[in-house]
Structure 1
Amino acid sequence: MAVTDPVDTRLLAALADLGKAAVHELAAKVGMDPREVAYRLVALSGSGLPLLVGVESDPQGLRAAIAGSPPSWANRPPQQFPPPPSQPVPQQPAPPMPPPGPHGVPSGPYNVQGAPSGPYNVQGAPSGPYNVQGTPSGQYPGPPPRPQQQRPPQQFAPPPAPVDPVVSTWGLPQTASWARGDEPARPAAPAGGKQGRIREVLETQGLEGEQLSVQLLEVQDPADYLFSAAGYRLEEGERSVVVHTEITNRGAIPFVSLPDNYLELLAADGTAIGKAPVSLTSRPPHKIGVQPGETLGGHTVYVLPDATRVVSVRWSPRPEPDERTLIWSIED
């Protein structure tokens, strides 16, 4: 099965690196809500992927919780099921029937599946000749049976050729196509958060109410020499950009996501450009999690067309901008 959703692709790539992990640990690694991660994993598990979503619990603790507050179904009587049917009698040829009579009576001997070989009574059936609807064995008066409508044969599309999921998602390694973000450029949605200029500190909140301060320290555009020094190669007509940000947790709730998970460049035409999944040795990337009272910094890499004019940088705790979104203008 080919995975086309970019969020599912990023989630499965992180899970492939971990091999086995709890849902909240995987959510922290990719910077997503644990409830959304659990929903996507269950859906992907049912789609045929080699993925098993499990649950681990304390059996004694669960039984104690159930005993303390019995559910509404705990006192229901056990469901009654009808007894299983008796073993069918081997099929035997039935005695010959009388000559043709009224409409619908078969004209020759026939077999009744599961019937014994001697005289018997069928509950609700007459003891003499009777009509069996639609099962005559010879000619009979009346209209002929209606022919079934001929349906055209169903057409099936040929299965797609197998493609290497790594190449289909990122492109060939050590190229700019591999270094692009896992989401294509998309139009920027309007945001109602705070705005400022480069090197200005803006305050906001995380998804769990974390009190955060984010500062845009530097935008290095272009940064092609740093990109090439790390062993990557840009395609013709492309350039790289490096953004340096710093985040401070001012509250008591730990920030468990990747600080630059939704840090984007905004172009002059309103296009949002996501980060590239690469890191530079000379510019260390962000690490997951910021504890209360801690200040951490990191660098984010982008690959974009050489003709694109970047006008601002946007930070958000979730994929879609909202009132917690921060925007820095980088134009003079």
Structure 2
Amino acid sequence: MAVTDPVDIRLLAALADLGKAAVHELAAKVGMDPREVAYRLVALSGSGLPLLVGVESDPNGLRSAIAGSPPSWAQQPQQPPQPQRPPGHSGPHNVQGTPSGPYNVQGTPSGAYNVHGTPSGRYPGPPSAPVRQPMAPPQPPPRPPAPPQQQFAPPPMAPADPVMSTWGVPQTASWARGDEQQVTPQAAPEGKKGRTGDVMETQGLEGEQLTVQLLEVQDPADYLFSAAGYSLEAGERSVVVHTEITNRGNIPFVSLPDNYLELLSADGKPIAKAPVSLTSRPPHKIGVRPGETLGGHTVYVLPDATRVVAVRWSPRPEPDERTLTWSIDD
């Protein structure tokens, strides 16, 4: 199998040098998020490459954790015995086509995950009272038919309400009336904005108190890209962004600081970083301890005609109120 993705090639080259390594160690070596590294390694392992992705654990510790949690079936109330059902009623059945028991999930990154689902097995339905056949009331003696003039016709049916027949009960209608005020959807919250050199405060996903500063944007940076041994395709250019992050709180920041550091083009489209690092401009490292300030450089490869107007930092893929944006368009 031929590997063509440059990120996969870089991962496999680093793994070939190490031979055997933990996922977080390999991620630190290549400067990537451990979750993305685990996902790519599992995908490559299933493609036929001589690669085995494993998980190492403490068996005694896992058994103690499992034994400390009571089984779900012990907390369920006991169901009363089911009465005999008459013919034509179905009773509890085993669900066909659904495997029961623990299984190893293939193609999923290793790590600690809580699996939520429905345990397999036989489930009795709700208790129901036995069906009793009502006793037929005694039949009165037949009465002679009434004369024609004494026959009573049924009362005429009242005309149906067109509103009721079309829409149902007005108080329970789920459709929106035209005379009611329409609710305007709320706009997505925006984070702080500044310019190159500004220091802005924000928070991480775990409540980390962070300060991020955009120090420099080198556009273009083709000479730095070539000096590191890389080559650009025709019509491409490289950009290098220098940022600095400070952890002002007591909670460690355990992610890669520039994991979601993006460039914004003039049409508003984000440009993700390239999976390369320059020897003359060291990249960011994973993790920032409380009270620590670290800097790093992020490399981007984009079409030569693209005009970059801003740099955006966020602790997650989708922007939110914690997002920071620096305008660089003069």
Question: Smaller-chain TM-score range?
Answer: 0.5 to 0.7
- SS in structure 2 of the partner of residue 227 of structure 1: helix
Query: Which residues in structure 2 correspond to 1:34-49 (within 5 Å)?
Result: 34=35
Can you list the C-alpha shifts for 1:201-236, whole angstroms capped at 9, x where unaligned?
A: 111222222221110011111222222333333333
* 1:290 positional shift: 1.1
Structure 1 48/206 Cα, relative in aligned 2: closer, same or farther at 3 Å? farther
| Farther-moved stretch of structure 1 (241-250 vs 284-293) | 284-293
Of 170, 195, 210 in structure 2, the residue corresponding to residue 212 of structure 1 is 210
Structure 1 61/293 Cα, relative in aligned 2: closer, same or farther at 3 Å? same
Can you list the C-alpha shifts for 1:240-267, whole angstroms capped at 9, x where unaligned?
A: 2211110111112222222112211111
Report what 1:254 is aligned to.
252
* Mapped partners of 2:12, 2:282: distance in 1: 24
- Work out whether residues 31 and 257 of structure 1, in 8 Å CA contact, stay in contact via their aligned partners in 2: no
Structure 1 292/31 Cα, relative in aligned 2: closer, same or farther at 3 Å? farther
Report what 1:60 is aligned to.
60
* Mapped partners of 2:71, 2:234: distance in 1: 65
Query: Which residues in structure 2 correspond to 1:62-101 (within 5 Å)?
Result: 62-71=62-71
Q: Which amino acid aligns with 1:248?
A: T
Structure 1 306/297 Cα, relative in aligned 2: closer, same or farther at 3 Å? same
- Work out whether residues 31 and 283 of structure 2, in 8 Å CA contact, stay in contact via their aligned partners in 1: no
Report what 1:299 is aligned to.
297
Report what 2:87 is aligned to.
none
* Mapped partners of 2:277, 2:34: distance in 1: 24
Percent sequence identity over aligned pairs = 87
* 1:191 positional shift: 7.0
- Work out whether residues 263 and 310 of structure 2, in 8 Å CA contact, stay in contact via their aligned partners in 1: yes
Structure 1 323/50 Cα, relative in aligned 2: closer, same or farther at 3 Å? farther
* Mapped partners of 1:227, 1:46: distance in 2: 33
* Mapped partners of 1:213, 1:311: distance in 2: 22
Q: Which amino acid aligns with 1:58?
A: D
Q: Which amino acid aligns with 1:291?
A: R
Structure 1 20/206 Cα, relative in aligned 2: closer, same or farther at 3 Å? farther
Aligned: 1:200 with 2:172:
no
Structure 1 297/3 Cα, relative in aligned 2: closer, same or farther at 3 Å? same
* Mapped partners of 1:319, 1:330: distance in 2: 21
Structure 1: runs of 5+ lacking an equivalent: 75-189
- SS in structure 2 of the partner of residue 265 of structure 1: strand
- Work out whether residues 221 and 240 of structure 2, in 8 Å CA contact, stay in contact via their aligned partners in 1: yes
Report what 1:245 is aligned to.
243
- Work out whether residues 31 and 256 of structure 1, in 8 Å CA contact, stay in contact via their aligned partners in 2: no
* Mapped partners of 1:10, 1:320: distance in 2: 26
Structure 2: runs of 5+ lacking an equivalent: 75-187
Structure 1 253/225 Cα, relative in aligned 2: closer, same or farther at 3 Å? same
Report what 2:281 is aligned to.
283
Structure 1 327/71 Cα, relative in aligned 2: closer, same or farther at 3 Å? same
Report what 1:110 is aligned to.
none
Structure 1 273/43 Cα, relative in aligned 2: closer, same or farther at 3 Å? closer
Q: Which amino acid aligns with 2:71?
A: P
Report what 2:226 is aligned to.
228
Can you list the C-alpha shifts for 1:255-290, whole angstroms capped at 9, x where unaligned?
A: 222211221111101222222222223222222221
Report what 1:265 is aligned to.
263
Q: Which amino acid aligns with 1:297?
A: G
CA RMSD of aligned residues (A): 3.6
* Mapped partners of 1:258, 1:13: distance in 2: 21
Structure 1 26/316 Cα, relative in aligned 2: closer, same or farther at 3 Å? farther
* 1:238 positional shift: 2.5
Structure 1 274/331 Cα, relative in aligned 2: closer, same or farther at 3 Å? same
* Mapped partners of 1:38, 1:251: distance in 2: 29
- SS in structure 2 of the partner of residue 228 of structure 1: helix
- Work out whether residues 11 and 30 of structure 1, in 8 Å CA contact, stay in contact via their aligned partners in 2: no
* Mapped partners of 2:5, 2:192: distance in 1: 30
* Mapped partners of 1:51, 1:212: distance in 2: 38
- SS in structure 2 of the partner of residue 304 of structure 1: strand
* 1:24 positional shift: 5.4
Structure 1 224/65 Cα, relative in aligned 2: closer, same or farther at 3 Å? closer
Q: Which amino acid aligns with 1:308?
A: T
Can you list the C-alpha shifts for 1:12-33, whole angstroms capped at 9, x where unaligned?
A: 7776665544455566676547
* 1:63 positional shift: 3.8
Structure 1 200/240 Cα, relative in aligned 2: closer, same or farther at 3 Å? same
